[in-house]
Amino acid sequence: MRAKTGRDHNRGGDRPVNPVRRVLRSLNCDGGAGLALLAACAVLLLPTLAGEAGRVLLRYDRVALAAGQWWRLLTAHVVHLDARHALLNSLGLALMWALFARDYSPRQWAPIVLGAMAAIDAGLWLCDSTVLWYVGSSGALHGVMAAGALAHVRRGERAGWVLTGLLAVKLAYEHWLGALPLSGSDAVVVSAHLYGVIGGVTVAAFLRPHRTPL
């Protein structure tokens, strides 16, 4: 019988696990997960290469939607005001990935994200008629955070309640006082954050997260 030495080992138990791989694993960025994150960030960053013309073509646009340009309901969430806006949301995606990526399977995350996007689109169309156009991933990322926090709560983890409380405080602040000071100089449609949370957590409520944190 081989005694445990207190070191992490690979499956064969012969060599220590690479420390870089250990760090990547802790951030949910090892192996295929890391490649998937890079691909997701590329989806957010690459549309900026199309410039203003691309942004106008892909954004949520109330008049264009009324004319039947339905693709905007999806593309609005991956196009941004500029490269800085896209980079900030990519960093937000990386943070959500590190915190929650393995709380659900990829097949579960897909409807969560789509549900958040759909809730934002419906909320803006039905409840915010003064919002003529919208771009950005922050609303969908709020839905991801809500779904991830719910997974931790359902596992009985204190961190889940802390995250839920922080998210609730942020939404309340935005509702009463507007966007957070660090949100940037551009106008922020804070209602999209609330709609994203509603959509993400509603879908997540019907899914079973992983029973143990990964």
Residue 5 has a pLDDT of: 45
List, for residues 2-60, the tens digit of each pLDDT value: 444 444 445 445 556 677 677 667 677 777 778 899 999 999 999 999 999 999 999 99
**Do residues 163 and 171 lie in contact, with contact meaning Cβ atoms separated by under 8 Å?**
no
Residue 1 has a pLDDT of: 37
Residue 85 has a pLDDT of: 92
Residue 179 has a pLDDT of: 79
Delineate the domains of the chain, giving CATH numbers in brackets.
19-204 (1.20.1540.10)
Share of the chain residues as helix, strand and coil, in percent rounded to the nearest 5: 65, 5, 30
Regions of the chain short of the pLDDT cut 50: 1-9, 11-12
Residue 180 has a pLDDT of: 78
**Do residues 134 and 183 lie in contact, with contact meaning Cβ atoms separated by under 8 Å?**
no
Alpha carbons 183 and 170: distance in angstroms, whole number:
12
Alpha carbons 87 and 65: distance in angstroms, whole number:
27
Residue 65 has a pLDDT of: 97
Q: CA torsion sign, 95 to 212 to 107 to 191?
A: negative
Residue 6 has a pLDDT of: 45
**Phi/psi of residue 30, nearest 5 degrees:** -85, 150
